[in-house]
Amino acid sequence: MSAKRLSVALVFGGRSGEHEVSVRSAVSVAATLSLSHDVLPLLIDKQGRWLLQDGAVPRPDGGTAVFLAGHPGDAGRLRRLADASVAASPDVYFPVLHGTFGEDGTIQGLFELAAVAYVGAGVAASAAGMDKEMMKALFAHAGIPQGPYRVLRARDSAMEARLVAELGLPLFVKPANLGSSVAVTKVKGVEALGPALDLALQYDQKVLVEAGVDCRELEISILGNEAPRASFPGEILPDREFYDYDSKYSADSRTQLVIPARLSDATLREAQELGVRAFRAVDASGYARVDFFLEKASGRLLVNEINTIPGFTSISMFPKLWEATGLPFAGLVAELLRLGLERHASRAGLRTDYR
């Protein structure tokens, strides 16, 4: 007997600087999902409207305005905004949202209120994975090695002077709650620090300032719930000074992904171990991608960050790493659905009353 075709609400877009990246990820995931499941493309536009689209191919605009009621009694139905009639009844929600209002625990909170099954990390792990200050604090608590950094919440001339003295140059300035290298600046001179901070503060109320490291850039993919496992590591060879937005996503990018990375057996095993430790440090579930710096001078591995909804575009590292490890794209998507349903079933069995 063939397995039941699940109805999967593929949630994409979002109110984030990474909206366009999310649309690309959704197209890739939908192409595979539609082979064995019924795909319901659910666009969240830049104004935050939920738009249920016809067909199985996500589009960058259009759809019927719908909403998800945040209570368990409605069984996760999507209702038309116009008259509250039922538009669809998904079995599981698959968020392919990057950045704020999607990867940061907000939509996961709605899924939890509605008691629906969904793919990926829960509320706390998503929030910690998005907020780089919280993430790095949890890494430090878990004894995970990382590079020097500081956090600013506003322009502060005295603090800015200390940053250069304490961290040296170059510095990397980035919004604390964003990804895909949006608004990230490499600061090579003191005069460039102020404009870099101003740019980052347009996107977030907190800014992360990191010491530059002469390193190789590695990434590893993690998969699992209670027993997470790691893929082979991959290496990024950016086509410009650092791995910025255009280097990641431009059609003209000549960035190379070396999969698997050329590492000693000891370094490979260490990267896999650190990847799993980082995953557990934020209490992640389902999947994530962990990014590393491998210092050229010392050979030390430093964990840079974890992404709880990594990119799923045709050029994204997360699926490529699993393919190299022996899990093809279709099997990876099926495993993510299984893990989401497994986590939902486990949480549904918890008591919510006290007698």
For the domain that residue 334 is a member of, what is the CATH number? Answer: 3.30.470.20
Averaged pLDDT for residues 191-204: 92
Greater model confidence, 249 or 27: 27
Q: Is 169 in the same domain as 298?
A: no
CA–CA distance, 12 with 26 (Å, rounded to integer): 6
- 37-89 tens-digit pLDDT: 999 999 999 999 999 999 999 999 999 999 999 999 999 999 999 999 999 99
Shared domain for 96 and 171, answered yes or no, is no
154 and 135 both lie in a single domain: no
Q: Give the pLDDT of residue 18.
A: 84
Domain identity same for 113 and 169 = no
The pLDDT-based confidence of 1 (bands split at 50, 70, 90) is: very low
- CATH code (residue 114): 3.40.50.20
Residue 350 lies in a domain: no
**Predicted pLDDT of residue 3:** 63
The DSSP output letter for 118 is B
pTM for the model: 0.91
Nearest to 260 by CA among 226, 281, 233: 233
Tell me, yes or no, whether 141 and 265 share the same domain: yes
| Residues 280-289 pLDDT 10s | 999 999 999 9
Instruction: Let me know whether 24 and 94 are in one domain.
Output: yes
Alpha helices by DSSP H, listed for 221-290, are 245-249, 265-281
Q: What is the pLDDT of residue 159?
A: 86
How far is Cα 102 from Cα 41, in angstroms, rounded to an integer?
15
CA distance 267 to 246: 29
Exposed / middle / buried, residue 352 (Cβ in 10 Å: 0-12, 13-18, 19+) = exposed
- % residues pLDDT > 90 (the chain): 80
**Euclidean distance between CA atoms 61 and 26, whole angstroms:** 13
pLDDT at residue 354 tops 90: no
Residue predicted with more confidence, 50 or 161: 50
Task: Indicate whether 352 belongs to any domain.
Answer: no
Please check whether residue 353 lies inside any domain of the structure.
no
For residues 328 and 259, state if they share a domain.
yes
> Where among 191, 211, 231 does a domain terminate?
211
Residue 124 lies in a domain: no
Does residue 21 fall inside a structural domain? yes
Structure tokens at 50: 């939920």
Distance between CA 242 and CA 72 in Å, rounded? 46
Question: Is the same domain home to 12 and 38?
Answer: yes
| pLDDT score of 245 more than 60 | no
The count of structural domains within the chain is 3
Cα–Cα separations (whole angstroms), residue 324 to 122, 320, 331: 27, 6, 13
Sign of CA dihedral 267, 270, 274, 276: positive
- What does the alpha-carbon distance between residue 342 and residue 86 come to, in Å, rounded to a whole number? 26
Residue 124: count of CB within 10 angstroms of its CB: 15
Q: Which residue type, as a one-letter code, is found at position 284?
A: A
pLDDT tens by residue, 299-347:
999 999 999 999 888 778 999 999 999 999 999 999 999 999 999 999 9
Residue 248 above 90 pLDDT?
A: no
Residues 138 and 155 occupy one common structural domain: no
Confidence class for position 351, pLDDT limits 50, 70, 90:
confident
Burial (0-12, 13-18, 19+ Cβ within 10 Å), 118: buried
Task: Tell me which residue range forms the domain holding 290.
Answer: 129-145+213-344
Cβ-contact 33, 114 below 8 angstroms: no
- The chain-wide mean pLDDT, for the chain, equals 92
Same domain, 222 and 327: yes
* Shared-domain flag, residues 287 and 333: yes
How does pLDDT run across 100-148, given as a tens digit for each residue? 899 999 999 999 999 999 999 999 999 999 999 999 999 999 999 999 9
| Percent of the chain surpassing pLDDT 70 | 94
Give the residue among 100, 99, 98, 103 at the shortest CA–CA distance from 123.
103
Which pLDDT band holds residue 255 (cuts at 50, 70, 90)?
confident
Question: Are 68 and 179 members of one domain?
Answer: no
The tokens 């590591």 sit on which residue?
A: 233
How long is the chain? 355
